[in-house]
Amino acid sequence: MTTMLNEIDEEKAIVLKTGQNELFSNPDADLAREAFRNKSRALKPKLSTVEEVVRTMVHDGDYVTIGGFGANRIPTAILHEMVRQGKKHLGFAGHTSTHDFQILCAGECFDRLDIAYIIGLEARGLSPNARRYIESGKVKLTEWTNATLSWRIKAAAMGLSFLPARNIMGTDTFKYSAAKEILCPFTGQKYVAFPALYPDFAAIHVHECDVYGNAHLYGSSVSDQDLAKASKRVVLTTERIIPNEQIRQNPSATFIPYWCVDAVVEVPYGSYPGNMPYEYFSDEAHIKEWLKAEKDPDEFRKFIDRQIFGTKNFYEYLELNGGIEKMKKLRAAEFLIPTE
Amino acid sequence: MADYNPLELMICVAARNLEDGSTVVVGTGAPCAAAMLAQKTHSPNMCVMFEAGGVAPILPSMPISVGDSRTFHRAIMASSMPEIMETCQRGMVDYTFLGGAQIDMYGNINSTMIGSDHSRPKVRFPGSGGANDLASLCWRTMMMTVQDAKRFTNDIDFITSPGYLTGGNSRYEAGLPKGTGPYRIITNMAIMGFDDETKRMKVLSVNPGYSREDVQENCGFELLWADNVTETDPPHENELKILREEVDPHRYIIGR
């Protein structure tokens, strides 16, 4: 893919400056159109399983993206299964990735990384294991920002190869990106041009959808509407399956339409231990346990053996960590209902 | 004089800079506390935004994540990241707060890495997240931080988020929106602004209990001084009461 990019006559494209790091995905809009041309538009049931989705839709070397916001509305079951099935050499968009990033680092699943926010878990502190993995030099790193990755995904959702913007110029974030500076053909204003990001695979956790993949999603949506449009293969994990009639009763609420979606898996409590707005709050005790186990590599290996490799699927993982009793507590926490 | 700790002072001073009717994008921690305090004192209708999409929530408690349920609790809008960032890019967001491991005399901030080899960082931090975007696109950027000579340095390892870059007009010349940039650096020792011409960091007031020497000694570069450097107005009784009882009753932030 890089051949195509190298052939660009920079003078003709009026490129002023170029970030020096690698671009891990091809922004070409016609290539993406070819992929989307072959994507099914059939209104057909797409129910699948976590195991099957990861086995058939994620291939070693793919570029992968995860919806939600780190430990909020994340498709945990898919992430665990990627580790369980030993997916390797993935490209990954670290777009405020926090607990999702921790899981993929535990499996050393990716080796090239577009960075906006990695390693940290916001107010909870930094992940020791993720930090070791990134500082090891095993992963190729290219810098971006949260807005930048949102706009790269938006450019793809629009069917373009780039979008101009006004951030990151003059900084090392630009220098270690793969962005370019250009001039506006109308005003002469300097802009940074961000290459479209067309992921091979995206997993998004939603509140409810029908068997065709028409989905409702509540609360902050981060970049997930664009992500569903931009990605070549999309799986929705959902808190619950709803009848198609419920979608048709309120079409203005449809957040993702079925033609973006390739597979649907019903995974109640699927964002655990993350927060699912209007459903359940994050399990801070369990996330703390992860962070603590990560301090010592041997301890962490045992922890992952128990939590991921030792569990057959996501339900066993939920049971291991408190099952329905725990979920009741997290539901109460979400709704600010005192339980003691 | 009321008894208070450095974080309480920084949060109170930050809150005073947020006027009613303004818009501010905040993260978790002290900036969120400052915004909540401003709302509960002089700016009841200041609009607080979170980069994952929450707009004008009635915060029931301190969020753990800028995308968690609390950030759109009884909010005006639960939107998206592009929505928030594009609102910044349109020039509709007045303030933001940033943190970082290093800051230089032009207010450039490092939150990416320590070391000289980007591919093999000595110490890796989370990176920009939304910091560069907010520093680039909001009108006024503020920072609350403890001050020492290692953190305030011109030997900055990586410029994650833009301040005034190399000073003078360089920020605008680089392509960043006109009239934006660092506004206040609020430390445990002093309150700084930036010189209109050179864009170098300039002390505006010194916090009670500290001398000019303390402020300069704990800064790795030469500070400019305003013509009329005053003593920082310390936290008032009513500010502390609201901060301790309503904003952060569990002392998650002010207890650090």
B136/A72 CB distance under 8 A: no
Number of domains in chain A: 1
Please give the pLDDT value at position A340.
72
Please give the pLDDT value at position A225.
98
The shortest CB-CB distance from B132 to any of A96, A119, A168 is to A168
The letter for the amino acid at A115 is I
| Shortest CA distance from A225: residue in chain B | B80
A167/B158 CB distance under 8 A: no
CATH number assigned to the domain comprising residue A63: 3.40.1080.10
The shortest CB-CB distance from B133 to any of A70, A146, A336 is to A146
In this predicted model, what pLDDT tens digit does every residue of B76-88 receive, in sequence order? 999 999 999 999 9
The letter for the amino acid at A96 is T
SS3 B186: strand
Tokens of B180: 């934006």
Q: Is the pLDDT of residue B93 over 80?
A: yes
Q: Is the pLDDT of residue A3 over 50?
A: no
B119/A145 CB distance under 8 A: no
β-sheet bridge partners, residue B145: B187
Continuous segment of H or E residues that includes residue A78: helix A76-84
Please give the pLDDT value at position B1.
54
A167/B64 CB distance under 8 A: no
* Rounded Cα gap, residues B44 and B61, in angstroms: 17
Q: 């570029």: which residue's tokens?
A: A63
In this predicted model, what pLDDT tens digit does every residue of B221-238 receive, in sequence order? 999 999 999 999 999 999
* Rounded Cα gap, residues A332 and A267, in angstroms: 20
Instruction: Supply the CATH classification number for the domain B6-247.
Output: 3.40.1080.10
State the CB neighbour count (10 A cutoff) for residue B119: 11
Name the CA dihedral angle for A319, A320, A323, A328, rounded to a multiple of 10 degrees. -160
Q: What is the DSSP string of A247-294?
A: HHH-GGG-SB-GGG-SEEEE-TTTTTTSBBTTTB---HHHHHHHHHHH
Please give the pLDDT value at position A36.
98
A96/B124 CB distance under 8 A: no
B contacts of A69 (beta carbons < 8 Å): 52, 65-67
Omega into B57 within 30° of 0, i.e. cis?
no
Pairwise pLDDT comparison (A96 vs A327), residue with the higher score: A327
* Rounded Cα gap, residues B229 and B236, in angstroms: 20
In this predicted model, what pLDDT tens digit does every residue of A70-121 receive, in sequence order? 999 999 999 999 999 999 999 999 998 999 999 999 999 999 999 999 999 9
In this predicted model, what pLDDT tens digit does every residue of A51-72 receive, in sequence order? 999 999 999 999 999 999 999 9
User: Is B51 among the residues known to form the active site?
Assistant: yes
| A280-286 average pLDDT score | 98
The shortest CB-CB distance from B52 to any of A134, A191, A222 is to A222
Minimum distance, in Å, between the CA of residue B230 and any CA atom of chain A? 34
The shortest CB-CB distance from A115 to any of B52, B54, B127 is to B127
Residue among B141, B126, B231, B48 nearest A96 (CA)? B126
Ramachandran bin of A73, using left for φ above 0, alpha for ψ from -120 to 50, beta for the remaining angles: left
B128/A145 CB distance under 8 A: yes
* Mean model confidence pLDDT for chain B: 96
**Angle ∠(A68,A71,A76) on CA atoms, nearest 5:** 75
Please give the pLDDT value at position A1.
44
β-sheet bridge partners, residue A275: A72
A contacts of B130 (beta carbons < 8 Å): 96, 116-117, 145-147
* Rounded Cα gap, residues B149 and B143, in angstroms: 16
Q: In this structure, is residue A246 part of a structural domain? A: no
HSE-up of residue A10 (Cα within 13 Å, Cβ side): 11
SS3 B6: helix
Ramachandran bin of A43, using left for φ above 0, alpha for ψ from -120 to 50, beta for the remaining angles: beta
Please give the pLDDT value at position A7.
60
State the CB neighbour count (10 A cutoff) for residue B207: 22
* Signed CA dihedral, B242, B243, B246, B249: sign only: negative
Percent of chain B with pLDDT over 70: 99
The shortest CB-CB distance from B69 to any of A181, A192, A275 is to A275
Residue among A147, A175, A170 nearest B162 (CA)? A170
Minimum distance, in Å, between the CA of residue B72 and any CA atom of chain A? 7
Percent of chain A with pLDDT over 90: 94
* Rounded Cα gap, residues B71 and B122, in angstroms: 34
B112/A123 CB distance under 8 A: no
| Shortest CA distance from A335: residue in chain B | B69
Minimum distance, in Å, between the CA of residue A51 and any CA atom of chain B? 28
β-pairing verdict for A190-195 and A162-165: antiparallel
List B51, B86, B217, B231, catalytic entry:
B51
Minimum distance, in Å, between the CA of residue A147 and any CA atom of chain B? 6
HSE-up of residue B210 (Cα within 13 Å, Cβ side): 24
Q: In this structure, is residue A288 part of a structural domain? A: yes
Provide the whole-model pTM. Answer: 0.96
A220/B78 CB distance under 8 A: yes
Please give the pLDDT value at position A6.
52
| A273-300 average pLDDT score | 98
Interface test with A, best of B109, B128, B160 (most A CBs within 10 A): B128
Percent of chain B with pLDDT over 90: 96
* Rounded Cα gap, residues B45 and B22, in angstroms: 8
| A141-152 average pLDDT score | 98
For residue B236, give the DSSP letter.
P
Interface test with B, best of A105, A138, A145 (most B CBs within 10 A): A145
Interface test with B, best of A102, A167, A272 (most B CBs within 10 A): A167
B contacts of A137 (beta carbons < 8 Å): 119-120
* Rounded Cα gap, residues A148 and A95, in angstroms: 9
* Mean model confidence pLDDT for chain A: 96
Tokens of A182: 């250009």
Pairwise pLDDT comparison (A8 vs A324), residue with the higher score: A324
Q: In this structure, is residue A36 part of a structural domain? A: yes
B126/A117 CB distance under 8 A: yes
Size of the A and B interface in Cβ pairs below 8 Å: 208
CB B167 within 8 A of CB B181: no
Minimum distance, in Å, between the CA of residue B81 and any CA atom of chain A? 5
In this predicted model, what pLDDT tens digit does every residue of B105-146 receive, in sequence order? 999 999 999 999 999 999 999 999 999 999 999 999 999 999
Q: Is the pLDDT of residue B47 over 70?
A: yes
- Which residue range forms the structural domain that includes residue A298? 2-240+253-334
Distances in whole angstroms, Cα of residue B120 to Cα of each of A25, A105, A177, B50, B123: 22, 17, 16, 32, 9
| Shortest CA distance from B130: residue in chain A | A146
Minimum distance, in Å, between the CA of residue B18 and any CA atom of chain A? 23
For residue A23, give the DSSP letter.
P
Domain range annotation of chain B: 6-247
Instruction: Give φ, ψ of B242 to 5 degrees.
Output: -70, -40
HSE-up of residue B20 (Cα within 13 Å, Cβ side): 7
* Rounded Cα gap, residues B37 and B14, in angstroms: 9
Q: What is the DSSP string of A87-137?
A: --SEEEEESS-SHHHHHHHHTT-EEEEEESS-SBBTBT-B-HHHHHHHHTT
Tokens of A265: 């898996």
B contacts of A134 (beta carbons < 8 Å): 121, 124
Please give the pLDDT value at position A5.
52
* Rounded Cα gap, residues A247 and A249, in angstroms: 6
Which residues have a Cβ under 8 Å from the Cβ of A323 and sit 6 or more positions away?
none
Question: What ipTM does the predicted assembly reach?
Answer: 0.97
Q: How confident is the model at residue B256 (pLDDT cuts 50, 70, 90)?
A: confident
